[in-house]
Amino acid sequence: MDIARTPATPDGNPEMADAAVEPKASAIIRREDYTPFPWLVPQVHLSFELGVEQTRVTSRLTVERNPAADASPTIRLNGDGLKLSELQVDGEPCSTHAMDGDDLVVTLPGERHELTIVTQIDPAANSQLMGLYASNGMLCTQCEAEGFRRITFFPDRPDVLSTYTVRMSGPAAQFPILLCNGNKADSGGDGDTHWAEWHDPWPKPAYLFALVAGDLVARSDSFTTTGGRTVELNVWVRDGDLDRTEHAMESLKRSMKWDEEVFGREYDLDLFNIVAVSDFNMGAMENKGLNVFNTKYVLADQETATDGDFDGVEGVIGHEYFHNWSGNRITCRDWFQLSLKEGFTVLRDQLFSQDMDSAPVKRIEDVRILRGVQFPEDSGPLAHSIRPDSYREISNFYTPTIYNKGAEVIRMMRTMAGEEAFRKGTDLYFDRHDGEAATCEDFITAIEDGAGLDLRQFRLWYSQAGTPKVSVAVTHDGDTAALTFKQDIPATPGQADKQPMPIPLRIALFDRESGKHDGEHLVMLDTAEKEVRFAGFAAPPVLSINRGFSAPVTIDRAVSRDDLVFLAAKDDDPFARYEAMQDLMVGHLVSAVAGEMDSAERDAARQDIACAFAAVLEDDRLDDLMRGELLMMPSQAYLSEQMLLAEPGRIHEEREALKAALGSALESQLLTLHKRASALPFALDQAAKGARKVKTVALTYLAAAKPDTASDLAEKQYSGADNMTDRQGALMVLAGLQSPARTGALLDFYNRYRDNPLVVDKWFSLQASSLHPQVLQHVKALRDHPDFTLKNPNRVRALYMAFAASPHAFHAEDGEGYRMIADLILELDPINAQTAARFVTPLGRWQRIEPARSALMRGELERIAEAGNLSRDTFEQVTRSLG
């Protein structure tokens, strides 16, 4: 499953106060308490009599005792808000059952039985969007992590694997398309009603079950696997959206081909369906043979989707397809092993995207996301290890740590092993555990055995939370350079003391005169402190470290501004060059916020940064995609992480001042860049995408320095745009300016796209995340807009998550931004708890903010906690955030 993806540039103790009312059934679940389920469920037959307001579900389960588990005379079938209509055991009405909370407990005397269970559910009333629910007249499901128990009583845990046969029936006019997992076995009709039967031959857990019924049309194609199987491919959407599905289909075919070539994984059914749904909590879901997607990650064309949207569609489609092996054929034993499938699959989709486009730029984008969302999580009250030890509500652990850090940890194994040996390890993993519910330990062991690595100490990455800090000092004596490394892992909730972990660091030592190095080295920092010596340097070298971001750590190095300027101009590793440019700006901004520099020092630092920028602007060896990355400023979130206590107001002020200084110093070069980039026609190749990227980057610096000039340029770019990237980039700049052109452009954009929900989401976000001084008032007005609704997660995120990521607005000095998010959480929680809980995180950063704002943020968390009747999702996030 793909969590709703974070933009690439995102600008503890579980107890709580006595006044709080703890939600029912919020007991802590611990990994150490895992035991196998006492019953196997080898076969499941489901029958759905479909209706938007009433659906009848009949499940027939074959159950038999599990020889690998302790014997039990009862079977516990999980439910969530279900009402039992009928229960039979071996064809006879059953009286030996009881309800334990929401669960159905049935006494079974023999070794093997058949259970028949009938439930009635109301999809239209399911605003939580978990289980079977209605979306604009269509029925669809979302079962990960624990949604299947909202459909029928079942042992809803990932280690219970079953083959499913499903019959769906309903009004043909209302539900002309009936889809389910696996291959279609049969279909027919009787009057106004029709039916379809589906069979999935591959055993799967209940969380991978999927059903869709509605009035849909498909873009169809086919793919022939290396083994000769012809696979029918369909992308199902609502009528009117079909012309925006070509990119999705091509992305799917590229994913299938890539997975065969790079990981040796071939698709295993005759059919692969993707369905786009407008009401969806997440990004997409990898259900076997029937992937259900948020429309955001399916629909794309030149007029309505940005380059980032095109990349997002390709990446998410790849992610969900790759789950067919890393998640479906091999699934998780329990939810503590969630990163087994998600971390590995994120790495696979990142490598796929690197191969499809610019690998260096993709790597930088992935690191920016990690630093923008995962590093703050690792340093806050919600910090947890990649394989957690406990949870209250599993939906809260679909986090950047599980996904993004999990991917980085597996990438480190790949770096240590080398690509060829890593492939041997993954082949062994797939061979050993196909058809099983596995653990993270199983994966690590397979990499050890296949790649010939000793990963005993490396396992600490799975059990220790926190982002390691690596300090490095370079000394020079004679012709030898000595590098002294130290690692420190900060304390996190429940983990005060940490052991050193293996950290693979790719480094290079540059000769200052020639601007070259003698090759790259891989240093394994596997102790608290380590010295490495290199001979052959007549003068002190310039260190390039953590090249390619070989380890998810922070680097503390005593490096001069001159050396950073050198690396920003000459480093041949794209990420290291980007990092030097970022360090130049971060060092200046942190010092400026702390008041550590006088006006002369401030001017000198800005001049050095401007010189580095000028070198990037003039470097003909760079393509524009990379140029755009090198010119991008560090986000306010990342800057806050570099400070013990962040001062949001000062950070915003100094960041904007640097942006204005750079825009003023480089005005002519930026204008030239914008003009050159504007001459390229629209295409989806790297050159055209890069041109569109630097065009908007240039506008952002000009807007800070020369708002009138930028407004005129942005207005022309907006009115002359033949694609969404240019139009949205121009509108983003205009939305932050107090310019006469602002209102007209926003009104035109809305009127132009008012019938396209995904583009209207952009309209909300652009205003909520803008640099305009009245953004708080704008968000309040947008909350009352007729197109705003709390029932659609995309729309809620578009307005409020964009606002929470807008530092100067969210961190308004009087706390109004904090109140706004707290009010949203309280209003949204009864409607959609999963979405509401994700808004706790911005408030949960209170311990890293200066005292006045910190008290206001904590006060809002306490107000939420005291409200009572919170969902388990929100309750856990709030209590952990309070500490």
Strand partners for 556: 471
Sign of CA dihedral 116, 122, 123, 126: negative
Can you read off the two tokens belonging to residue 384?
């947890």
Helix (H, G, I), strand (E, B) or coil at 729: helix
Helix axis angle for 775-783 and 757-768, nearest 10°, is 150
**Closest to 276 measured CA to CA, from 256, 305, 304, 249:** 249
List Cβ<8 Å contacts ≥24 apart for 674-683: 674/698, 674/699, 674/702, 674/713, 677/624, 678/717, 682/302, 682/722, 682/723
Active-site residue (options: 144, 286, 320, 654)? 320
Can you read off the two tokens belonging to residue 142?
């979302």
For residue 285, with 0-12 CB atoms within 10 Å meaning exposed, 13-18 middle and 19 or more buried, which class applies? buried
Question: What CA–CA distance (Å, rounded) separates 233 from 491?
Answer: 49
Question: What CA–CA distance (Å, rounded) separates 205 from 624?
Answer: 46
Q: 558-594: b or e for each residue (b if 16 or more CB lie within 10 Å)?
A: ebebebbbbbbbbbebbbbbbbbbbbbbbbbbbebbe
**794, 294 contact by CB (below 8 A):** yes
**Closest to 130 measured CA to CA, from 871, 832, 659:** 832
Quick one: CA torsion of 410, 413, 415, 421, rounded to 10 degrees? -120
Helix (H, G, I), strand (E, B) or coil at 14: coil
Q: State the amino acid at position 806 in one-letter form.
A: S
Question: What CA–CA distance (Å, rounded) separates 508 from 798?
Answer: 42
Active site residue 531: no
Sign of CA dihedral 605, 608, 610, 616: negative
Question: What CA–CA distance (Å, rounded) separates 74 from 630?
Answer: 62
**Closest to 37 measured CA to CA, from 126, 119, 154:** 154
For residue 120, with 0-12 CB atoms within 10 Å meaning exposed, 13-18 middle and 19 or more buried, which class applies? middle
Write down the residue that tokens 């389960």 correspond to.
61
For residue 788, with 0-12 CB atoms within 10 Å meaning exposed, 13-18 middle and 19 or more buried, which class applies? middle
Residue 35: count of CB within 10 angstroms of its CB: 8
Sign of CA dihedral 309, 313, 319, 320: positive
DSSP 102: T
**203, 162 contact by CB (below 8 A):** yes
Residues 6+ apart with CB under 8 A from 543: 472, 474, 483, 507, 508, 509, 510, 557, 559
Radius of gyration of the chain from its Cα atoms, rounded to whole angstroms = 28
**631, 616 contact by CB (below 8 A):** yes
Catalytic residue numbers read 320
